[in-house]
Amino acid sequence: MRNIVNQLQEILDSGKISEEEKNIFEKYILICNEFIEKGITPSDVLLETFEKIIKVFKPLVGAGREKS
């Protein structure tokens, strides 16, 4: 889960996502941190969802995507 937080934070810190996307990513990070702080193991479905989000955004951020 910490790996997911780190990747989401990297995308957030890139400055290459829109303000709306930034707000959503901040919420994703808060959700992940709740799981970590409470020692709750997230479901596979939730983990897969975050992994898919990261898979979509990581190349866009790495490719120098402009803010919309």
Cα angle: 25, vertex 38, 13; to 5 degrees: 20
* pTM reported for the whole predicted model: 0.84
Domain residues for 18? 2-62
Q: How many domains does the chain have?
A: 1
- The set of residues, in sequence order, having a beta carbon less than 8 Å from that of 15 and lying 6+ positions away, is 67
Cα→Cα distances 50→11, 39, 60, 66, Å: 12, 18, 16, 22
Overall average pLDDT of the 35-52 stretch: 95
Residue 17 lies in a domain: yes
Residue 67 lies in a domain: no
Residue 68 lies in a domain: no
Residue 32 lies in a domain: yes
Q: What is the mean pLDDT of the chain?
A: 90
Q: Per-residue confidence at 64, pLDDT binned at 50, 70, 90? A: low
Overall average pLDDT of the 25-30 stretch: 97
Residue 44 lies in a domain: yes
DSSP 35-57: HHHHTPPPPHHHHHHHHHHHHHH
Q: Which two tokens stand for residue 41?
A: 């193991």
Q: Per-residue confidence at 45, pLDDT binned at 50, 70, 90? A: very high
Residue 19 lies in a domain: yes
